[in-house]
Amino acid sequence: MEYNHKEVEKKWQDYWEKNNSYLTKEDSKNPKFYVLDMFPYPSGEGLHVGHPKGYVATDIIARVKRAQGFNVLHPMGWDAFGLPAENYAIKTGVHPEIITEKNVSNIKRQMKMIGLSYDWSREINTTDPEYYKWTQWIFLKLYENGLAYKKLLPINWCPSCKTGLANEEVVDGKCERCGTETTKKDIEQWVLKITAYADKLLEGLNDIDWPEKIKEMQKNWIGRSEGWEIKFSINDTKEVSVFTTRIDTLFGCTYLVLAPEHPLVNELQIENKEEVLEYINKAKNKSERERISEVKDKTGVELKGVKVINPINGKEIKAYVADYVLFNYGTGAVMAVPAHDERDFDFANKYELEIIEVIKGENKKEGEVFIEDGVLFNSFDFDNLTSEEGREKIGEYLKKQGKAEKKVNYKLRDWVFSRQRYWGEPIPIIHCSKCGMVTVPENELPLKLPYVEKYQPTGTGESPLAAISDWVNVKCPKCGGDAKRETNTMPQWAGSCWYYLRFLDNKNKEEIFNKEIEKKWMPVDLYVGGAEHAVLHLLYSRFWHKFMYDIGVVSTKEPFYKLRNIGLILAPDGQKMSKSKGNVISPDVIVDEFGADTLRAYEMFMGPFDQAIQWNEQGVKGVNRFLSKAWDIIVSCKDNKTSSTEVIAMVHKLNKKVSDDLSKMKFNTPIAFFMEFFNSISEKKDEFGKDEIERVLKLLSPFTPHLCEELWSVLGNKNSILLEKWPEEDLSLIKEEKVMMIVQVDGKVRERIEIEIDTPKEEVQKIVLSNERLKKWIEGKEIKEVFFVENKLINICVA
RNA sequence: GCCGAGGUGGCGGAACUGGCAGACGCGUAUGCCUUAGGAGCAUAUGCCGUAAGGUGUGAGGGUUCAAAUCCCUCCCUCGGCACCA
């Protein structure tokens, strides 16, 4: 009986489909388990072998949990708005909607081909008006709660995609999507006030089981720092505020620096105004990359004739404009303490500015800047205080005079939320000349994306929607007068901010989802996806979720309780798989040649789940060999009635190891255990009986469901193996009577002996000392000490 | 520079709470089978050594009867952040 993967896999996939085997029951009384994959963008290339790795892992978990009696929710959907479909549409003239549909059906075919156990009745698509209706609804809630506002501000602009971008979408000064260098552009933008949730987003990290790496990335991105805001007087008439975390170094402040964009520069009387304006202009025209690459070389211009007073000692100091000070952090102005800050030190050296040391410490090295905390000196009444005390005392001292205030600053910026592109959710806002901004009434949602012939981005800062006059021109819902629709669309991240919630109740027409259902299923128990979304999707969706929690829409503070990252599958050449490099391996090819079960088992066996590993065709063959070996063995044993006690012990041991490792999200070692098991059982085929065969099949079935279903029926079972309970090992059957004991002399392994289990130390020692082979090492020497670990090891020290 | 993860055979990787390092797979070698093999099966396989034995988990030191595992110093690789005051 040869295993024919094509026939068998088709047979069972049809069976599962016909029997609705993976439907989640809403009325189940069993405890819930929500296991979710990051839903894909339905690209035209379909899946490559890297994509299923995460899907297979969650599929295994879902199958085990079902067998363990959980009511499992395991859905899948499509994150289908975004640039690729739109760009393709521009090139070919085929509407993005049609392309999306085509791509979805291809990827769905691939997912079914791999045997993934999704509940397809819950499928969602972010471009479906019945879905984005609620994305727009959430936007309106954000707007009503003052968390969405429109503002003119210099934003990151991608000249190739012709749209504004969020900070999170600019990587190394380049557009995250297309790699083009971004520029700055002043456009009126919709912005979401994610900064209002900075502290909540930080605190929430303590309550969730996420990889440390992702938590750290989010913490750094939010970048909370505590310090003081201090007012310096300028020219006796004006004031400028600076933010500092090191108010303890205030006596060492020898100049003040304004960012080029600082508005005060225009207001001040400056003797060398022309020179200053020229510098500012040059700084503004620098691209993000130029600015980054010039970090070492700090430039600036003195504001001549401007007098600044250090509030702590009344000392007059100079003022500069320099682009090493960022306008969008803190107050856009900085007090410079060259003795205790590297940047200020570099700048002061270049422009020969005064350097006054005010902090001393043990680690201070000659000729280097001392940036650590230490003890204050040159600081009058505050001398001999520690930095920490100094901060408190100096801060409070200035606070009493109204010159300083405690302040918390964040690196996190508000989320630039509008895109000047076609293929996204329309923002449901109407601009009325009388009433100002008016929301589209909820009962008019969804505000459908109009069908257009031309999707080309305009590059003018307006979206293509602006050209559709019969869509743009509307009556104001408030006053009935002439008004215009907002023509910007939402970014591609909008739909993915809340999709995990719509799976719970995806056909609900009345509300975003039923509250009771939400309470029952949330939070997501296990969320699996790539780490590249650390400060994009994973931050944005936490923000929306926390907002929805605050307005009573959801019942949990966090959306995803446990997160695990997938390690990439690299091409055999060690590079990332990509169409342009021509190194993509399609699952279609692997499944055709070896079958879905081989693909699944190999992807799990490759190595640790969260680690990047190269694809190796030989490895696929190895796993395939193992599966046919397992098939042959079980087929040849199918009529065996009972097992030997030894085989029973082996099977229960296997059971324990597989269960233990799966609970730790380890998938490579269980496969290895199965291989080991079948290697040993091949010599004991006669002792491998029905009950044990069935137990092994139940354990293996989450990994290779088709093969196991088939063998299950070969054994004469009429029902699907999916209905079987996950087996629990019986530890009493594993207990062995004899064990191998390691015998060491002076810590070196010299012999191994078989003894009765639980033999006491004295007896083992007696056996060991009479052992012929060990005499060589012990004879004539004095035994100093004997260490004994029960059932494991005895170490005789003679040295 | 800062943060995070990691460094084990020719390769991917195992190793519980400190207790046989190298499970499992790939590759390689030899043999069998075959008209043939980039198929299948069997055996071997960390390194040095004919062997006894020695040696070995990035480097060096330490703790311990015993260290891949714990501690200290350093090096390297990958990922992220990066003028954030």
Q: What is the pLDDT of residues A337-386, one digit of tens each?
A: 999 998 999 999 999 999 999 998 877 776 678 888 889 999 999 999 99
DSSP secondary structure string for all residues of A575-643: SPP-GGGT----HHHHHHHH-HHHHHHHHHHSS-TTS-EE--HHHHHHHHHHHHHHHHHHHHHTT----
**Which two three-digit tokens encode residue A421?**
């592109």
- Which bases in strand B are touched by protein, i.e. have an atom under 7 Å from a CB? 3-5, 12-15, 19-21, 23-27, 40-42, 53-54, 65-67, 78-81, 83-85
Spanning CA of A748 to C1' of B21, the rounded length in angstroms is 13
Rounded Cα distance between A174 and A157, Å, is 10
Judged by C1' against the alpha carbon of A784, the nearest nucleotide is B65
- As a whole number, mean pLDDT of residues A627-643 equals 92
Query: Looking at the C1' of nucleotide B1, which residue has the nearest alpha carbon?
Result: A342
On the 0-12 / 13-18 / 19+ scale of CB atoms within 10 A, A275 is middle
Distance A334 CA to B1 C1' (A): 21
**A298 pLDDT higher than 90:** no
Instruction: Convert the pLDDT of each residue in A439-468 to its tens digit.
Output: 999 999 899 999 887 788 887 888 888 888
Residue-averaged pLDDT of chain A: 91
Identify the pLDDT of residue A597: 96
Helices (H), A270-340: 273-284, 288-293
- Give the per-residue pLDDT at A288: 66
> How many Å is the Cα radius of gyration of chain A?
34
CA A744 to C1' B70, whole Å: 22
Residue A323's nearest nucleotide, by CA–C1', is B83
Q: Distance from residue A374 (CA) to nucleotide B74 (C1'), in Å?
A: 27
pTM: 0.93
Check: CB of residue A553 under 8 Å from CB of residue A517: no
What's residue A289's pLDDT?
Answer: 67
Q: How far is the CA of A532 from the C1' of B22 (A)?
A: 34
Tell me the C-alpha distance between A223 and A220, whole Å. Answer: 5
Give the model's pLDDT for residue A773: 76
- What letters, b where the CB count within 10 A reaches 16 and e where it falls short, cover A558-593? bbbbebbbbbbbbbeeeeebeeeeebbbebbebbee
Greater pLDDT, A155 or A15: A15
SS3 content of chain A, % helix, strand, coil (to 5): 40, 20, 40
Separation CA A788–CA A765 (nearest Å): 9
Q: Please state, in angstroms and rounded to a whole number, the distance separating the CA atoms of residues A82 and A76.
A: 18
Question: Which residue, A494, A501, A537, A542, is CA-closest to A518?
Answer: A501
Residue A73, classed as helix, strand or coil, is: strand
What's the pLDDT tens digit per position in A475-531? 999 999 999 999 999 999 999 999 999 999 999 999 999 999 999 999 999 999 988
Comparing A187-191, A425-429, A575-579, A636-640, the range with the smallest average pLDDT is A575-579
The separation, in Å, between residue A619 CA and nucleotide B9 C1' comes to 18
At residue A469, the 3 state secondary structure works out as helix
- CA–C1' nearest nucleotide, residue A242: B85
User: Which pLDDT value is given to residue A162?
Assistant: 86
The pLDDT tens digits of the residues spanning A731-783 come to: 888 877 778 888 888 888 888 888 888 888 888 888 888 877 777 777 777 78
Complex ipTM > 0.90: yes
In tens, the pLDDT along A685-736 reads: 889 999 999 999 999 999 999 999 999 999 999 999 999 999 999 988 887 7
Residue nearest to nucleotide B79 (CA to C1'): A213
pLDDT tens-digit map of A252-270: 999 999 999 899 988 888 9
Interatomic CA–C1' length for residue A691 and nucleotide B19, angstroms: 36
CA-based torsion, A109, A111, A113, A119: positive or negative:
negative
A249 nearest nt, CA–C1': B85
Across all strands, nucleotide nearest A173 (CA–C1'): B82
Q: Which nucleotide is nearest to A296 (CA to C1')?
A: B83
Name the closest residue (CA) to the C1' of nucleotide B66: A747
Cα dihedral A598, A599, A603, A604 sign: negative
Cα–Cα distance for residue pair A393/A381, rounded to 1 Å = 10
C1' (B52) to CA (A628) span, angstroms: 44
Using CA atoms, how far residue A706 sits from A176, A377, A591, A674, A715, in Å, is 40, 76, 12, 17, 14
Q: Which residue is nearest to nucleotide B67 (CA to C1')?
A: A747
Which nucleotide's C1' sits nearest to the alpha carbon of A212? B4
User: A82-140: per-residue pLDDT in tens?
Assistant: 888 888 888 888 889 999 999 999 999 999 999 999 999 999 999 999 999 999 999 99
What pLDDT shows up at residue A799? 67
Nucleotide B42 C1' to residue A574 CA (A): 34
> CA of A746 vs C1' of B18, distance in Å?
16
Q: Which residue is nearest to nucleotide B4 (CA to C1')?
A: A213
Rounded, the Å distance between the CA of A505 and C1' of B57 is 52
Provide the 8-state DSSP code for A362: T
- Give the tens place of pLDDT for each residue, A529-538: 988 888 899 9
At which residue do the structure tokens 């079914």 appear?
A: A112
What nucleotide is nearest A793 when CA is compared to C1'? B19
Give the helix/strand (H/E) hosting A776: helix A772-778
Quote the CA–CA distance of A112 and A95 in Å, as a whole number: 26
Q: Which residue has the tokens 């085509």?
A: A102
A574 CA to B9 C1', in Å? 21
The whole-number pLDDT of residue A89 equals 82
- Say which nucleotide is closest to residue A776, CA to C1' distance: B52
Q: A497: closest CA among A27, A23, A142?
A: A142
Closest amino acid to nucleotide B40 (CA–C1'): A625
Question: Using alpha carbons only, what angle is made at residue A469 by residues A463 and A475, rounded to the nearest 5 degrees?
Answer: 110
Three-state SS at A530: coil
